[in-house]
Amino acid sequence: MSNSAGDLVSDAQMISAGADWGTVPILSKSVVVSQDHGGIRSARLAATAHGAYEAFINGESVADSLFNPGWTSYRWRLQVQEFDVTDMVASGEPDLELSARLGNGWFRGKIGFEHGEIDYAEEIGFVAALEIVFADGYKQTVPTDESWSGRRSDVTENSIYHGETIDARLRTHAEELPIRVISFDRSSLTPQIGPLVRRQGRVHAVEILKSPSGKTLVDFGQNLVGWVTFSVQGAPGVEIVVRHAEVLEDGELGTRPLRAARATDTFILSGNDDSFEPNFTFHGFRYIEVNGWPGQLTLDDIEAVVVHSDLRRTGEFECSNPMVNQLIENVVWSQRGNFLDIPTDCPQRDERLGWTGDIAVFSPTASFQFNVSDFLHKWLLDLRAETEHSVNGTVPIIVPDLLKEGLRTKEFSDVDVSPTAIWGDAAVWVPQALWNAYGDEERLAEQYPAMVLHLRSVERRLDADGLWTQGFQFGDWLDPEAPPEHPGAAKADTSVVATACLYRSASFAAEAARVIGKTEDAGHWRALAERTRKAFNDAFVEDGRVRSDCATVYSLAVCFGLLDEPDRAKAVNRLAELVRNAGYRVSTGFAGTPYVTWALSENGHVEDAYRLLTETDCPSWMYPVTMGATTVWERWDSMLPDGSINPGEMTSFNHYALGAVADWIYQVVGGIRPAEPGYARVLIKPEPGEGIEWAHTSYESAVGHIETFWKSREGEFSLALDLPGGVPADVVMPNGAKYSVVGGSHRFGARLE
């Protein structure tokens, strides 16, 4: 998008058709193209909305993107999209119709959870301008204003949570709607940064089932995000109702985890050959229940459309263990489904929010699997805006901060908002992951102010001993031993977790400040980190034992570098002992899970890390795989061994957070690590272990293609390595042998004891 797209719409007015909540109106303008200035040199359309729009010229969509303008912190950042429509306008026809369909999207979507039903405003609106440039330089501009007209479309209900209703009978006639101009803050207009949302492919149905109650069910074989599409002929007025869910329970559609979300699409037939495809909702599902289908439904009648942000796949992994391969596929599919314009917690129930804690721990994995530089930078700019406008400069627990919108009926300044570890640390940890992956100094500088706000908000909350003991904490959320109804009841002391996180964040903030030339800030954050480290050891560590003596606190203390010898060695040994005593079943939640395998493998316990990864009994990473999972679950036991759904209120089957172990798989099992930001220098350090005899890993890094393939059998280890030209790499073999190489293809061998 050009920098002038915002300027192009700066004089356009926001128009609304005044339709009711469910209706998708069509806003249109007849345009007579000038014939007095020679041929058309170029044409572009700039547009945005309060809501979600799809723009058309002469009935043809100007782009294949969906849910424009996406979800941002609308009060401060409203993205403007620009589309090159030269070919559509220069067809030679002197008359054309410029139009748009306008849905609720996230702006008026009754979004939230626990029946939050929050809207940004009561009315949605569309802003656009078409600019045609002729051969002689003359520009004809057509902005949105009161001269446009409105009419109803065939969409009579649209809701991200509840679904969409399409009445094909309305396609041949449409009721006119009055156009009105509504106000909006033009200072919020900002260029499009993140990738657009698009259709990413289709998934064929694999089985049609009959439920015990006689319902027709369709299994697509993969838990995905999007909708279904089909063509059908039937009597006018017949309703086909499609309900969506991720799992079956007792042979029926398992809808309880959806909570208040109806996740139901309704299609009303016209009597002709009708084609249906929703555009203003999305669902997380593997199974659908179809009611009202005329005749016998077959596998060829219906397809699922996969929808997410347009991200380029950059990381690939395959090994000799098919269950590990399935785990990786599950993590990839969960990222796809939850990277729909913002990084969400889940894509199916009445939530689908940008929870900061989830992406804080998952961002290293995310940046290996896909190029998320633009996607997460756009989200971080929203995080910064929300934090700058929050109480006490506190990072919200969700971004965009819809909860803040729900509090606008109260005196928001009176609401006590406190910073939270991990969730608030997303302001630091996500930029850290992006810095390691892409090495973009300019973007690090843009993200730095939010780091400052977060750390300042934490500094104000520290107790007299310099510990983060005050305020609400999620802690080691979803500890597998916590009861379903109390997901925060973890073994790990929340103050230990929070103080450890503060040390990590202050340490990276010091590094970021140094990189962007803020020397005084760097000194301040280094001093804070040093004070925090000392306070942590004084209060929480005694002879290598960390308060609350569980896997999570040892993992954090070791991985974040909080301990000196001999405490570090004792802590590592205690961690390994706890892991073994648990029978290699996972005993960590959100806080500890991303780091426990790292703490083991980097400190002489590679085999324990492998055993932990490949354990199949619940709770474990492989347990969902044994239960047929095709995405990562929110809980280790979202589905119980008997096939029933976990009774907890929060039971999603598509949450990427616990899939953060994939980062360890790529870097330790696969052996590809950034030795310098942006992979300007690479560390190749594969570490084999029991259960995997070979591994093949590739990564399209910021500097080019990196690929490893290793085999380990009967004490012989071989490694093949491909590097981009001119890129240096340090190679560390499992037996400790070290090599330095630059670019190209290399082969190594080693004898293992």
SS (H, E, C) 538-578: HHHEECCEECCCCHHHHHHHHHCCCCCCCHHHHHHHHHHHH
pLDDT at position 414, please? 44
**Secondary structure of 236-285 as H, E, C letters:** CCCEEEEEEECCEECCEECCHHHCCCCCEEEEECCCCEEEECCCCCCEEE
Q: Among 262-271, 394-403, 406-415, 713-722, which stretch is predicted with the lowest mean pLDDT?
A: 406-415
Inform me whether the pLDDT recorded for 382 exceeds 70: yes
**Given 3-state DSSP classes, what are the helix, strand and coil percentages for the chain, each rounded to the nearest 5?**
30, 30, 40
**Cα–Cα distance, 159 to 112 (Å, whole number):** 12
Q: How far apart are the C-alpha atoms of 130 and 95, rounded to whole Å? A: 14
Which residues does 542 contact at the CB level (< 8 Å), separation at least 6?
Answer: none
Can you tell me the distance from the alpha carbon of 596 to that of 660, in angstroms, rounded to the nearest whole number?
A: 11
Rounded to whole angstroms, what are the CA distances from 348 to 16, 157, 264, 586? Answer: 29, 18, 11, 26
Query: Residue 134: what pLDDT?
Result: 95
Instruction: For residues 8 and 12, give the distance between their C-alpha atoms in angstroms, rounded to a whole number.
Output: 8
- The Cα angle at residue 608 between residues 607 and 610, in degrees rounded to 5: 65
As a whole-number percent, the residues of the chain with pLDDT over 70 amount to: 98
- Name the DSSP class of 168: G
Domain boundaries 5-194, corresponding CATH code: 2.60.120.260
pLDDT (tens digit, 9 = 90+) per residue, 291-338?
Answer: 999 999 999 999 999 999 999 999 999 999 999 999 999 999 999 999
Domain 677-751: CATH superfamily is Maltose phosphorylase, domain 3 (2.60.420.10)
What pLDDT is attached to residue 407? 64
Percentage of the residues of the chain whose pLDDT score is greater than 90: 92
Task: Compute the distance between CA of residue 409 and CA of residue 411 in angstroms, rounded to an integer.
Answer: 7
| C-alpha 473, offset from chain centre | 22
Distance from C-alpha of 70 to C-alpha of 160, rounded to nearest angstrom? 13
Cis peptide before 619, with omega less than 30 degrees from 0? yes
Other C-beta atoms lying within 10 Å of the C-beta of residue 415? 12
CB distance 285 to 349 below 8 Å: no
Q: What is the dihedral of CA 352, 353, 356, 359, to 10 degrees?
A: 30
Q: Is the pLDDT of residue 52 over 60?
A: yes
Tokens representing residue 527 in the block: 């001093």
The angle at the Cα of 608, spanning 603 to 613, to the nearest 5 degrees, equals 115
Q: What token pair was written down for 671?
A: 């052996």
Residue showing tokens 């599409």: 229
Calculate the alpha carbon distances from 34 to 90, 134, 680, 727 in Å.
11, 9, 53, 55
Task: Decide if 208 contacts 302 (C-beta within 8 A).
Answer: no
Burial of 735 (0-12, 13-18, 19+ CB in 10 A): exposed
The DSSP letter of residue 669 is I
> Before 480, cis peptide (omega within 30)?
no
Between CA 687 and CA 691, with CA 689 as vertex, the angle to 5 degrees is 140
In this predicted model, what pLDDT tens digit does every residue of 473-524 receive, in sequence order? 999 999 999 998 899 999 999 999 999 999 999 999 999 999 999 999 999 9
* pLDDT attached to residue 313: 98
| Tokens 């999207």 -> residue | 105
Is residue 1's pLDDT more than 50? Answer: no
In the CATH scheme, what is the code of domain 357-404+416-609+655-667? Answer: 1.50.10.10
In angstroms, the CA 403 to CA 715 distance is: 57
Secondary structure (3-state) at 516: coil
Q: Work out the mean pLDDT of the chain and round it to a whole number.
A: 95
Whole-number Å distance between alpha carbons of 659 and 330:
8
Handedness of CA 477, 481, 482, 483 (dihedral sign): positive
Confidence of residue 677 (pLDDT cuts 50, 70, 90): very high
> Which positions are annotated as active-site residues?
351, 634
**Residue 3 predicted with pLDDT over 50:** no
CB 679 within 8 A of CB 724: no
The first and second tokens of residue 751, run together, are 């004898």
* 3 state DSSP class of 144: coil
Domain borders along the chain are: 5-194, 199-309, 357-404+416-609+655-667, 677-751
* Predicted pLDDT at 4: 67
Give the SS3 label for residue 721.
strand
What whole-number distance in Å separates Cα of residue 11 and Cα of residue 7?
8
Least confident interval from 111-125, 205-219, 719-733: 111-125
Structural fold of domain 199-309: Jelly Rolls (2.60.120)
- Amino acid symbol at 495: S
The verdict on whether omega for the bond into residue 566 sits within 30 degrees of 0, i.e. cis, is: yes
pLDDT (mean) for 152-177: 95
Express each pLDDT in 332-365 by its tens digit. Answer: 999 999 999 999 999 999 999 999 999 999 999 9
Residue 92 has a pLDDT of: 66
Instruction: Write out the H or E segment, with its range, that includes residue 599.
Output: helix 593-601
Within this chain, domains 5-194 and 199-309 share the same CATH topology: yes
Return the exposure string of 223-250: e unless at least 16 CB atoms fall within 10 Å of the residue's CB, then b. bbbbbbebebebeeebebbbbbbbbbee
- For residue 189, list its beta bridge partners: 78
Q: What is the pLDDT of residue 622?
A: 98
Q: Indicate if the pLDDT at residue 448 is higher than 90.
A: yes
177 SS3 class:
strand
The pLDDT value recorded for residue 484 is: 85
Q: Catalogue the E-assigned strands of 77-124.
A: 78-84, 95-103
Containing 617, the helix (H) or strand (E) segment is: none
